[in-house]
Amino acid sequence: MRVLGIDPGSETTGWGVVEGKGHDYRLVEFGTVKATPRERFSTRLLKISEGIENLIVRFRPDAFSIEEAFYAANVKVALKLGQVRGVALLAAERANLEIFEYSPRLIKQTVVGYGNAEKHQVQEMVRVLLSLKSVPEPHDAADALAIAICHFHHAGTVQRILAADARGKLGSPLPATRRRASR
Give this prediction's pTM: 0.85
Domain extent at residue 106: 2-179
Q: Would you call 62 a catalytic residue per the annotation? A: no
Residue of 178, 182, 160 whose CA lies nearest to 65: 178
- What's the CATH number where 75 sits? 3.30.420.10
**β-strand partners of 12:** 34
List the catalytic residue out of 98, 101, 140, 143.
140
pLDDT at 41 over 50: yes
67 is catalytic: yes
Percent of the chain with pLDDT over 70: 83
Provide the edge-to-edge strand list for the sheet that holds 24-34: 24-34, 12-21, 2-7, 63-67, 98-102, 178-179
64 SS3 class: strand
The residue from 67, 98, 101, 143 that is catalytic is 67
Q: Looking at the 3D structure of the chain, how many domains does it have?
A: 1
Q: Is the pLDDT of residue 74 over 90?
A: no
158, pLDDT greater than 70: no
Give the model confidence (pLDDT) of 95-145 as tens digits. 999 999 999 999 999 999 888 888 899 999 999 999 999 999 999 999 999
Least confident of 48-52, 71-75, 119-123, 126-130: 71-75
Integer Cα distance of 122 and 52 in angstroms: 23
- 177 Cβ contact partners less than 8 Å away, ≥ 6 residues apart: 68, 100, 101, 102, 103, 154
Identify the CA nearest to 53 among candidates 110, 101, 27, 91. Answer: 91
Q: Among residues 9, 48, 23, 1, which one has the least CA distance to residue 150?
A: 23
Distance between terminal CA atoms of the chain? 18
- The CA radius of gyration of the chain, in Å to the nearest whole number, is 16
143 is known as an active-site residue: no
Beta bridge partners of residue 24, listed in sequence order? 21
| Collapsed DSSP state (helix, strand, coil) of residue 121 | helix
Closest CA to 7 of 113, 144, 99: 144
